[in-house]
Amino acid sequence: MRRRLFAAAALSCAALLGATPAAADLAHPSVVSANPVDHTPHVLDGTVWAVTVVGDTVVVGGSFTKVQAGDRKLTYNRRNIFAYGLRDGVVRPFAPEVDAPVYALAPGADNSVYLGGSFKTVNKAAQRGLARVSLGDGDRVAGFTAKINWGDVRAMAAHGSRLYIGGTFSAVNGTTRVGLARLHTASGAVDAGFDAKLSAPGLSRTRVEHFDLSPDGKRLVIIGALLKVGAVSRTQIAMFDTSGAAATVLSWYTDAYKPKCMEGFDTYLRQVKFSPDGRYFVVAATGRASSPTKLCDSAARFETAGGGKHNPTWVQRTGGDSLYAVAVTGSAVYVGGHQRYLDNPYGSDADGPGPGAVSRVGIGALNPSTGRALAWNPTRKRGVGVRAFHVVPQGLIVGSDTDQLGKEYHGRIGMFPLG
């Protein structure tokens, strides 16, 4: 009963989310509970790739076809996107027709949400990779006509009148923008002055796998298959000054991701998140290679301030299992993937844990100062891994591809409450 009542309490902060675009994670005063709330609905197939919140509505994107009520009595047809109440878990009527997976979401003004993915149509109208829809009726918002030329959109963030998108595309609205673009939130028009000129000589394609905006919107850190920003060398990660009209690459850089992991990875970085105060960010990585020196299958903290070369403040290694998602709340750094262990630099996925390793199946929490595993250990069914974290004032929402979270049945979506 306590868990059900908790989600209904004190939502004044959540109401602000509809008007305040997502930029970095929210601060929490403590680590969340290891006991998930009971009321969240269940996604019955596929994978949850993205979560955002608009007012008191949770919007979920991914590759799925069926959603079930939290009490498992009603099942709904929902293809690739659906919404539910943050307070009560009730599945909303919101059901736009999206013909392929949704990989990214961002809250919009006037009770709307931006979608990014590999889709070609929304509500049977051509709208490749990008759309803005109303949460009221699921209709496309008139005037927003942005579209990519091919590929997909994997990351989105809105700040003021600016919408940032990242992915595998090479043009938006017919304007060349390789992997990264900034658009106007109302029209989707391409920002003519913002062109990062990303490239990856020798790789199959340039792509932005993920990015995050600092809380003040003045810094953008991107990760992915990239080697150059204009004429400047940047391997897998780069930071931009986004306070002005241009895409200004900062002198900040790291060589930490130059060493290769297992063959076949054009990038092994998967997610990046700023801390709530913007002082640092954490990168989650895969790589299928256990190493006490490389950053394969790791989480690593970097400081934001200063120019020139940066080394990680700390590195957390799983011992050869991938991390796909990260959230930073100030009191903890949450990581998710299909890892079996944390604090495991000398172990491997083949030979088992090394000295000092701790079991943290599929999900775990790190000390933000040291990177060491915290005691929090709810576990989850591993599968491929957690794909989405979303921090709300009430707790931590988790999206994945499996149906067990905190030793309970939770189909691909769930929330650990704060307190």
Asked if the model's pLDDT at residue 227 lies above 70, the reply is yes
pTM, whole model, 2 decimals? 0.94
Q: What's the whole-number mean pLDDT along residues 296-314? A: 98
Q: How far, in whole angstroms, is CA 58 from its chain's centroid?
A: 15
**CA end-to-end distance (rounded Å), the chain:** 14
Q: How far, in whole angstroms, is CA 123 from its chain's centroid?
A: 25
Asked if the model's pLDDT at residue 50 lies above 50, the reply is yes
Asked if the model's pLDDT at residue 1 lies above 70, the reply is no
- pLDDT confidence of residue 351: 85
- pLDDT confidence of residue 182: 98
Give me the amino acid identity at 276.
Answer: P
The dihedrals phi and psi of 359, each to the nearest 5 degrees, come to: -75, 125
CB atoms within 10 A of CB 317: 30
Q: Which neighbouring-strand residues pair with 328?
A: 333
Asked if the model's pLDDT at residue 402 lies above 90, the reply is yes
- pLDDT confidence of residue 23: 55
- pLDDT confidence of residue 20: 36
Asked if the model's pLDDT at residue 24 lies above 80, the reply is no
Cα 360 to Cα 344: distance, rounded to the nearest angstrom: 11
Q: Which neighbouring-strand residues pair with 105?
A: 115
* pLDDT per position as a tens digit, 177-204: 999 999 999 999 999 999 999 999 999 8
CB atoms within 10 A of CB 3: 14
Measured in residues, the chain has a length of 419
407 falls in which pLDDT band (50, 70, 90)? very high
Give me the amino acid identity at 309.
Answer: K
CB atoms within 10 A of CB 310: 18
Q: Which two tokens stand for residue 353?
A: 């844990």
- pLDDT confidence of residue 10: 35
Q: How far, in whole angstroms, is CA 327 from its chain's centroid?
A: 8
Cα 357 to Cα 134: distance, rounded to the nearest angstrom: 47
The dihedrals phi and psi of 10, each to the nearest 5 degrees, come to: 50, 70
- pLDDT confidence of residue 9: 36
Cα 388 to Cα 253: distance, rounded to the nearest angstrom: 26
Cβ(271)–Cβ(312) under 8 Å? no
349 falls in which pLDDT band (50, 70, 90)? confident
Q: What's the whole-number mean pLDDT along residues 154-180? A: 98
Report strand pairing: 102-108 vs 125-126: unpaired
Asked if the model's pLDDT at residue 11 lies above 70, the reply is no
